[in-house]
Structure 1
Amino acid sequence: MTDALTRAREILTEFPVVDGHNDLPWALREQVTYDIDARDIAADQSAHLHTDLARLRSGGVGAQFWSVYVRTDLTGDAAVSATLEQIDCVDQLIARYPDDLRAALTAVDMEAARAEGRIASLKGAEGGHSINNSLATLRALYALGVRYMTLTHNDNIAWADSATDEPGVGGLSAFGREVVREMNREGMLVDLSHVAASTMRAALDTSTAPVIFSHSSARAVCDHPRNIPDDVLERLPGNGGVAMVTFVPKFVLQAAVDWTAAADDNLRAHGFHHLDSSPEAMKLHRAFEEATPRPVATVSTVADHLDHMREVAGVDHLGIGGDYDGTAFTPDGLDDVSGYPNLIAELLTRGWSRADLAKLTWSNAVRVLGDAEDVARDLQAKRGPSNATLEQLDG
């Protein structure tokens, strides 16, 4: 394994990781109300965060989609404002650390950052509630650098069903399909993590550009609704999209699913949101874990998902989306953003080639953004922006 780890680090030097989802901006909001002096990621933040610059470098990260997530209990204009604050946080980080981070809006920008030895920094909105049913707001987010939008988070919205809510509109409503078309026209990637399988299928039926799953794993390996069914994975070659495997134990290890449900219930019983990562919530988590030891995922657990996803979708349609700083627990060996070489080493021992791994870590994600840009140019030459409303299309 030592030799494999050395080879993994060599591969990542040339083909660094494009990670599809990191929740550092929300962690900064929750922990220090965006006081980035108090969480200076140029210093060691391992006591507080999964992410800092030294560990990003050690992990071989070359591009990061920073999530500009807001919780679904923020709705309407409050959700839009909070999303803008998240965007501002990312912009502040890029401005503060110019030697390490480079703003990226395009696939060309990503390659330029790699050539410069900087980490391409992109933004991804997590949940359609961030646009408050407004295509103009969607376009404004694109203008501010948002390059994907996850159609839902954990709860349904008026025009799309979530994986972890009861069916509402049967996947996508008419307005939901118009959102997908407008994202195609803008060049914003349609992200299908968090959405119901019916929404995945409806989006694939509608989108003329490649889609992504910014942080999802294989449902056939771990039967959780956040994961991707095989019939959807089978459609990725025809669409050109990319599924970015996530590391969250409750999505990759079947034994962790039941344990997590009990841990979430414990948080709620004490008055906390089940996604709360504040020190008080984490203290409760640790006490629960001491009383009820949690099942432990490993690097091998995640590699099992990638092996399956490669078999079903093909190596040209895979990527990585760790969900660091958005999960209370991580697999052994993937404890923080420095852990990616361990996963690449594990895949090397399983027979993945250098060319396969270059696609997984770098090339697939860069290609999918570039392909979405090509589709957008064609669509913009044919039609102007849509001003349709939820009321017009859904009644």
Structure 2
Amino acid sequence: MSADLHRRAVVADTHNDLLMAVAARPPALWARFFRDRWLPQLRDGGVDLQVLPVFIDDQFRPEGALRETLRMVEAAHVLAEGNADEVSLCRDGEEIDRALADGKIALVLALESAPGLDANVELFSTMHRLGVRVASIAHWGRTPLADGSGEDATGSRLTSAGVDAVAELERLGVIFDVSHLGASGVDHVLELATRPVMATHSSARALRDHHRNLTDDQLRGVAATGGVVGVNFVAGFLSADPGGYTVDRLVDHIEHVASVAGIDHVGLGPDFIREVSLELTPPCCEDMSALAGFDVNAVVPGLDGPRGLPLVTEALLRRGRPEADIRKILGENVHRLFQKELGRPA
């Protein structure tokens, strides 16, 4: 029953860093590497809608950040064009619906921390022209726009350029992503927002007190905008105890977000970082484990990549969740939000 439900549902993953692994290859291999390494995983996991974040490692910051951002955006276009029979890079809800109707995986391009843009908010318009439809403005540390959650002790809100960035993204129809933003920054965005915001990959702070997770008030705030919280699968964000690195603990977070924010405002933001991290570290990548305070390569058994997504459907059924709720969690909520908001100017 769970396999049939998973197959029939729209499954949306709001955060997978696979583009980093693709862009690490020579350009001539981008499309083929995606087809050989990642496409089978996405198909086996039933993924219908995949958000592709552009994240830049410290080796490229600051001088090479914008160049590497553009290179990764180009990689997304090349892999989509080279696999046009299987995927489609989508800019709005109509393009997503067309891709799904054709049996293709709908890809949506995102910026994670807006690397290289700095305080040049006008460059968000450039990124929009290139197909970016989701964006965040900080990662672990400080940017010219805001502080990431690793700087929570500062208690800082958005900079004036960050405030301008919120307005510009709303104008363009690029969905603002609060994941990784510092706690005060999240609250600031929720005060400013006039359009739905997302947390593409954040779990519940009430269940795991980590700065990367959202408080109940923040969960309610995202829901109040009409947005969606994609629950993060990274084991250390689910539990402080490795004994809690289980699918059931993940479902605890999903259930908590649903109970606080509402069933219409929860989705899946797996953040399948392990394969990408192991491929690229060392020597290129920053030490995410040191920043996070736990081993970021530790995984929930069975959920080390997209192939494990049917386990989530199975676990939700065991909890007694009705099919309609499970379909919303798996992807209907994200699909609905993208249909309504993606790429639509204010």
TM range (shorter): 0.7 to 0.9
**Match status 1:307 vs 2:255:** yes
Q: Does 1:93 align with 2:79?
A: yes
Determine the C-alpha separation between the residues in 2 that align with 1:123 and 1:329: 27
- Name the counterpart of 2:307: 338
Query: In the alignment, does 2:26 pair up with 1:40?
Result: no
SS at match of 1:40: helix
Gaps of at least 5 residues in structure 2 are: 278-296
Contact kept in structure 1, 2:31 and 2:83, CA below 8 Å: no
CA distance 1:371–1:38, shift in 2 (3 Å): closer
Q: Is the 8 A contact 1:9 1:60 kept in 2?
A: no
1, 7, 21: which one aligns with 1:13: 7
Could you tell me how far apart the structure 1 residues matched to 2:48 and 2:89 are? 12
Aligned AA for 2:20? W
Letter in 2 for 1:61: V
Which residue pairs with 2:270 in the alignment?
A: 322
SS of structure 2 residue aligned to 1:120: strand
Q: How far has the Cα of 1:12 moved from its partner?
A: 2.7
CA distance in 1, matches of 2:222, 2:88: 30
Residues in 1 aligned to 2:10 and 2:2: alpha-carbon distance in whole angstroms? 10
Partner of 2:288: none
The 3 A distance-change label for structure 1 pair 42 and 372 is closer
Residue among 194, 197, 213 paired with 1:208:
194
| TM-score computed with the length of structure 2 as normaliser | 0.88
Structure 2 residue 90 is matched with structure 1 residue 104: yes
| Corresponding residue of 1:369 | 338
Q: In structure 1, what is the Cα distance between the partners aligned to 2:14 and 2:2?
A: 20
Counting matched residue pairs gives 325
Letter in 2 for 1:227: N
**Alignment CA distance shift 1:77-1:105 (3 Å):** farther
Distance 1:91 1:200 in 2: 31
* Residue among 61, 70, 88 paired with 2:56: 70
Q: What SS does structure 2 have at the residue aligned with 1:254?
A: coil
Counterpart position of 1:25: 19
The CA deviation at 1:129 is: 3.3
RMSD of aligned C-alpha atoms?
2.0
Q: Secondary structure at the match of 1:121?
A: strand
* Residue correspondence of structure 1 range 280-295 to structure 2 within 5 A: none
CA drift of 1:196 comes to 0.9
- Out of 198, 207, 220, the residue aligned to residue 221 of structure 1 is 207
Deviation at 1:131, TM superposition (A): 1.6
Distance 1:15 1:297 in 2: 26
* CA-to-aligned-CA distance 1:280-333 (integer Å, 9 cap, x gap): xxxxxxxxxxxxxxx561211211100111111111001111112455332112
Query: Is the 8 Å Cα contact of residues 76 and 132 (structure 1) preserved in structure 2?
Result: no
CA contact (8 A) 1:214 1:244 kept: yes
Task: Tell me which residue corresponds to 2:293.
Answer: none
Shift of 1:213: 0.7
Deviation at 1:355, TM superposition (A): 0.9
- Determine the C-alpha separation between the residues in 1 that align with 2:104 and 2:7: 12
Residue 114 of structure 1 is matched in structure 2 by 100
Whichever residue aligns with residue 219 of structure 1, its letter is R
Q: Deviations over 1:37-58 (max 9, x none)?
A: 6962333x4xxxxxx2122111
* Residues 1:373 and 1:148: Cα distance change in structure 2 (over 3 Å): closer
* TM-score normalised over the length of structure 1: 0.77
1:270-281 correspondence to structure 2 within 5 Å = none
Tell me, yes or no, if structure 1 residue 355 matches structure 2 residue 324.
Answer: yes
Contact persistence 1:246–1:320 (CA under 8 A): yes
Q: How far apart are the structure 1 equivalents of 2:269 and 2:116?
A: 21
1:162, distance to aligned residue in structure 2 (A): 0.7
Determine helix, strand or coil for the equivalent of 1:165: helix
Q: Write the letter of the residue equivalent to 2:159.
A: S
Distance 1:371 1:37 in 2: 31
**Comparing 321-330 with 180-189, which one deviates more in the overlay?**
321-330
1:199 aligns with 2:168: no
State how far apart, in whole Å, the 1-side matches of 2:182 and 2:159 are.
13
- Identity rate of aligned residues, in percent? 30
Aligned to 2:286: none
Note the C-alpha offset of 1:137.
Answer: 1.0
Deviations 1:203-254 (A, max 9, x none): 0111111000111111111111001111111223321010001111111121
Q: Which amino acid is 1:100 matched to?
A: E
Gaps of 5+ in 1: 1-6, 46-51, 257-294, 380-395
Q: How does 1:136-155 map to 2 (within 5 A)?
A: 136-155=122-141
The Cα of 1:340 is off from its aligned counterpart by: 0.7
One-letter code aligned to 1:314: G
Describe the shift of the 1:169–1:84 C-alpha distance in structure 2 as closer, same or farther (beyond 3 A): farther
Aligned-partner residue type, residue 309 of structure 1: V
